[in-house]
Chains A and B, each alone.
Chain A
Amino acid sequence: MTGMNAHHPSRPPALELIDVVKEYPGTPPVRALDGVSLRVDTGELVAIVGPSGSGKSTMLQVMGTLDRPTSGAVMVDEIELSTLTDRKLSAARARLIGFVFQQFFLLDGATAVENVSNGLLYSGASKHTRLRRAARALDRVGLRHRLHHHPNEMSGGERQRVAIARALVHDPAIVLADEPTGNLDSASSESVVSLLRDLHDEGRTIVVITHDRDLAASLPRQVAVRDGRLDESASHLVGVSGAVS
């Protein structure tokens, strides 16, 4: 397992944050991220762990280009994203990044395969291609038998698997999972974590944001966040620190 945690100079970084600062306006301004630098290599499975309000969700938003840093650089798949236009950031999300959310965010009126195919909706792929790849992605997450079921016909664990398939269907450089087990019972949580590990074994780069120290400890690399900074000492409490500065 430790081999997974080490940085491989031969592997290009899937994600790099370089001295990222994120401030929200106010008097005084609220500094949610305070000079964060982090490198996630291709093929890594990383937990970013911290208590509520520590800045981990802001970190996910900045990593995922859903929000811009006040200063510093964000690189995904070796492309500097922090200075791009809004249209190019959308392109980055469509091509390079996959999201998994705590609330799943599946469209109730769409079947599982349609929901997953939405992961390719903004790629310009034809409907036929999208559905074909979506079916394959659902097969990969063990839901081949649920292709045409609607979200309300599925368990929480299955819904999150659908969401994971949607995050993978466009073959992103990195998958960002925000509290992926936050809405699940322990059995479903275990199966989702197991799926994330399997995907990691296959070479996927995955960053899991969580406040759950046990979940973080079960992943190959942990990065602790506190008050908007990477917390080296806390990282040791949950496992091996992988933060770099």
Chain B
Amino acid sequence: MSRWRRGDDAYADAPDEPSTTRRLEPSRLRPADVVGAAAGGLGGRKLRTALSALGITIGIAAMVGVLGLSESSRADLAQEIEALGTNLLTVEPSGGFGGGDGVLPEETVSKVARIGPVELVADVVTLDAAPLRNDLVSGNETGAIDAMAADLDLLDTLKGEVADGVWLTEATAATPNVVLGAVAADRFGITAIDEGTQMYLGGEWFTIVGVLDEFPLSPDLDRAVFIGKHAATAVFDAELNPSVLYVRTTPEQIDAVRGVLPSTADPESPDEVSISRPTDVLEAQQAADSAFTSLFLGLGAVALLVGGIGIANVMVIAVIERRNEIGLRRALGATRAHVRRQFLTESLLLSALGGAAGVGLGVAVTYGYASYEGWIVVIPRIAVVGGFAAAIAIGAVAGLYPAMRAARLAPTEALRA
């Protein structure tokens, strides 16, 4: 045990703080010590800290996840639109595809093909022939599948892909061969092309030579089976008036082409021709997604608000429970500002902890779900930075009242508690 006298050896090895200058020097609390004291306050109540940070975590995770997934989905859709091209137009008689009444003149394809900026054009003709899996099935049980005669350029025009087998060729288009749309194949239970597999179409047997992937721009075609135009005329004696025309133009001239298409397709009744751009549907889908994003962001904000109230509640309880500690700190020389700063920092740490966990969880959810869906993973910086900043702001607001309450506590009252 060493002997220790005031003013001599106690400061002998601390020349940086000589006793002659220490009289009523203001109390000082280093920033690192503010954080240390705040962390100590939280560390003493780990479970309560974790539970009270959970509200903020859920709120921030929801917001980051919603923004991340929305952006990932949007990026994926944008990439898809980019890949499919926004330079595709469909031409159909007013009254709608599948309405059954309207058709276009037979020479429409060749006339449209002559428009300068048109790169590709293909049509489909809806046939009055029931596609059935076999001849044992009733003629009404087509599974809402249409039979169509298709141009050989259809696949290229729509940038479609063959899932299995082959698309129609000059040779297969002239004989009873059929290619199934993605949904049609699924309804008929065709998952792979086996040589010689046939289906019963309009009372004739057709050999299935291919199954297509989905057409993102023309989902109606997924519910169709396609035969060649030669086969349609040979087998069913069908007239080849186009039901729908698909036109791929140079991207810069799409509006100009759109302007001349009605009169080109049907000079006698241009008003009865309807022109549309399939990517408009996908863009509308993006807009609809944005509406859902706003809704979920609103829900995340509510969770965040509830989390903030939770933090304020926990901090008020902490101030009540730790009155003795507050009194002790005042006795040790803490000013009101030091006490206020400690409790405010504690609230900020709590919300920062919740915010960081929320951002991490939101990023993980976005990464996991977007990967699962095969989307491009996009974590918007605004979601990460904004989410964390929102957590800090909530912590500051939630901690302000408890911190002021702690600071207002008189030392004698605090020590008496």
Chain A interface residues (CB < 8 Å from chain B)? 61, 64, 66-67, 77, 79, 86-88, 90-96, 99, 101, 103, 105, 107-110, 118-119, 121-127, 129, 132-133, 136-137, 139-142, 166, 168, 171-173, 202-204
Instruction: Name A107's contact: one of B1, B33, B40, B333 (CB within 8 Å).
Output: B40
A95 adjacent to B14 (CB under 8 Å)? no
Q: Which residues of A contact B328 (CB under 8 A)?
A: 101, 105
Q: Return the chain B residue nearest A129 by Cβ.
A: B14
A101 neighbours in B (Cβ, 8 Å): 328, 331, 415
Q: Are A87 and B2 in contact (CB under 8 A)?
A: no
Interchain Cβ contacts under 8 Å between A and B, 30 examples = A67-B411, A79-B23, A90-B330, A90-B334, A91-B333, A95-B24, A95-B25, A101-B328, A103-B324, A105-B324, A105-B327, A107-B44, A109-B44, A110-B40, A121-B334, A122-B333, A123-B27, A123-B333, A124-B25, A127-B36, A133-B10, A141-B1, A142-B1, A166-B332, A168-B4, A172-B6, A202-B3, A203-B5, A203-B6, A204-B6
Cα of A167 to Cα of B11 in the assembled complex, Å: 16
Q: Are A202 and B4 closer than 8 Å at their CB atoms?
A: yes
Chain A residues near B5 (CB, 8 Å)? 202-203
CB-CB < 8 A to A137: which residues of B?
Answer: 4
Chain B nearest CB from A95 CB (Å) reads 6
CB pair B2–A122 under 8 Å, yes or no, is no
Interface string of B326-347 (1 = CB under 8 A from A): 0111111111111000000000
- Encoded as 1 (CB less than 8 Å from any A CB) or 0, chain B from 22 to 52 comes to 1111111110110011001001100000000
User: From residue A57, how far is it (CB to closest CB) to chain B in Å?
Assistant: 9
Check: B197 CB closer than 8 A to any chain A CB: no
Q: Is the CB of A107 within 8 A of B325?
A: yes
Please name all residues of chain A whose beta carbon is closer than 8 Å to the beta carbon of B334 when the two chains form the complex: 90, 94, 121-122
Q: Collect the chain B residues with CB atoms within 8 Å of residue A67's CB.
A: 410-412
Inter-subunit contact B3/A127 (CB<8 Å): no
Structural contact, B40 and A109, CB atoms closer than 8 A = yes
- A202 to B1, alpha carbons, bound, how many Å? 13
Shortest Cβ distance from B411 into A: residue = A66
B324 and A87 within 8 A (CB): no
The answer on a CB contact under 8 Å between B412 and A61 is yes
Q: For A87, list chain B residues within 8 Å (CB).
A: 26-27, 335, 337
* Bound CA–CA A92/B23 (angstroms): 8
Report the separation of the CA atoms of residues A66 and B329 in the bound assembly, to the nearest whole angstrom: 11
Residues of B contacting A96 with CB < 8 Å?
Answer: 23-24
The answer for the CA separation of A93 and B333 in the assembled complex, in Å, is 5
**New contact pairs (19) apart from A122-B28, A127-B36, CB-CB < 8 Å:** A90-B336, A91-B24, A91-B333, A101-B328, A101-B331, A119-B332, A122-B27, A122-B332, A123-B27, A123-B333, A124-B27, A125-B17, A126-B30, A133-B10, A142-B1, A171-B10, A171-B19, A203-B5, A203-B6
B24 lies within 8 A of A88 (CB): yes
A108 adjacent to B330 (CB under 8 Å) = no
Instruction: List residues of chain A with CB within 8 A of the CB of B327.
Output: 105
Establish whether residues A140 and B330, one from each chain, have CB atoms under 8 Å apart when the complex forms.
no
Across the interface, A77 reaches (CB within 8 A) one of B16, B23, B33, B411, namely B23
Q: Does B189 contact A (CB under 8 A)?
A: no
B39 to chain A, nearest CB (A): 10
The one of B3, B330, B338 that contacts A66, using a Cβ cutoff of 8 Å: B330
Is B116 interfacial (CB-CB < 8 Å)? no
Q: Does B7 contact A (CB under 8 A)?
A: yes
Question: Given that A121-B33, A168-B4, A171-B6 are known contacts, is A93 also in contact with B332, CB under 8 Å in the complex?
Answer: yes
B7/A171 in contact, CB under 8 A: yes
Q: How far is the CB of A126 from chain B (nearest CB, A)?
A: 8
Cβ contact within 8 Å between B4 and A93: no
Would B412 and A121 count as touching, CB distance under 8 A? no
Chain A residues near B16 (CB-CB < 8 A) = 129
Residues of B within 8 A of A132 (CB): 13
A121 to B25, Cβ gap below 8 A?
Answer: no
Q: Which residues of A contact B22 (CB under 8 A)?
A: 95, 123
Q: Once bound together, how far apart are the Cα atoms of A66 and B414, in whole Å?
A: 10
Beta-carbon contact of A66 and B1 below 8 Å: no
The 4 A-B residue pairs whose C-beta atoms are closest, nearest first, are A94-B333, A124-B28, A122-B333, A122-B27
CA distance in complex: A40, B415 (Å): 25
| Nearest Cβ on chain A to B333's Cβ, whole angstroms | 2
Q: Are A79 and B24 within 8 A (Cβ)?
A: yes
Residue of chain B at shortest CB distance from A172: B6
Given that A66-B412, A103-B324 are known contacts, is A140 also in contact with B27, CB under 8 Å in the complex? no
Q: In whole angstroms, what is the CA distance A108 to B324 when docked?
A: 12
List of A residues within 8 angstroms of B325 by Cβ = 105, 107
Residue in chain A with minimal CB distance to B1? A142
Most chain A beta-carbon neighbours within 10 Å: one of B26, B333, B335, B337: B333
How many Å lie between the Cα of A127 and that of B29 in the bound state? Answer: 11
Contact indicator A91/B6 (Cβ below 8 Å): no
Residue of B23, B28, B332 near A118 (CB, 8 A) is B332
Would B4 and A86 count as touching, CB distance under 8 A? no
Distance from A172 Cβ to chain B, minimum over Cβ atoms (Å): 8
A122 to B33, CA, bound (A): 9
Point out which of A67, A101, A118, A119 has the most chain B C-beta atoms below 10 A from its C-beta. A118
B336 proximity list for chain A (CB < 8 A): 86, 90
A171 to B, closest residue via Cβ? B10
Asked if A122 and B338 make an inter-chain contact with CB atoms under 8 angstroms apart, the answer reads: yes
How long is the Cα–Cα vector from A230 to B377 in the complex, in angstroms? 79
Q: Are A95 and B333 in contact (CB under 8 A)?
A: yes
- Do A95 and B44 touch across chains, with their CB atoms under 8 A apart? no
Give the distance in Å from the alpha carbon of A129 to the alpha carbon of B12 in the complex. Answer: 12
Which residues of chain B have C-beta atoms less than 8 A from A139's C-beta?
1-2
Q: How far is the CA of A171 from the CA of B6 in the complex (A)?
A: 6
- CB of B29 within 8 A of CB of A90, answer no
- Shortest Cβ distance from residue B284 to the other chain A in the assembled complex, whole angstroms: 58
Known A-B contacts A133-B10, A204-B6; A99 and B331 likewise in contact (beta carbons under 8 Å)? yes
